[in-house]
Amino acid sequence: MAASPSGNAKNRELSLPTSRIRTIMKSSPNVENIGQDSLLLVTKATELFIQHLSRQALKQVEGKAEHIDYKHLAEVVQTNKKLDFLKGKYLC
């Protein structure tokens, strides 16, 4: 299987378990019925999110450190406007 994350075949398979994602979605207040299509979209979006966070974290350490620490991710959240929703949840 191709190691490149941007390869076409790899992009079209899902790595995360949709059943677990459905459970998490349903634990959101007020969410009731979730169509199968939406579930697939949210699953893929979450995968892209993980990739996004990882790549951003890599940028934080490039040329500076050999490993990614908690603080690098904290910095990613601080500097990315669309990650504002994460502030105050798990980060000081």
Residues 10-49 binding another protein (CB under 8 A) are 11-12, 14-17, 20-21, 23-25, 27-35, 37-38, 40-49
CB of 27 to another protein, least distance (A): 5
Q: Check residue 7 for interaction with another protein (CB under 8 A).
A: no
* Amino acid making up residue 22: R
C-alpha span between 66 and 47 (Å, rounded): 24
88 φ/ψ sector (left φ>0, alpha ψ -120 to 50, else beta): left
CB of 50 to another protein, least distance (A): 5
C-alpha span between 43 and 20 (Å, rounded): 10
Beta bridge partners of 91: 87
Q: Check residue 64 for interaction with another protein (CB under 8 A).
A: no
C-alpha span between 26 and 45 (Å, rounded): 17
Contact residues toward another protein (CB under 8 A) are 3, 5, 11-12, 14-17, 20-21, 23-25, 27-35, 37-38, 40-51, 53-55, 57-58, 61, 66-70, 72-74, 77, 81-82, 85-86, 89-91
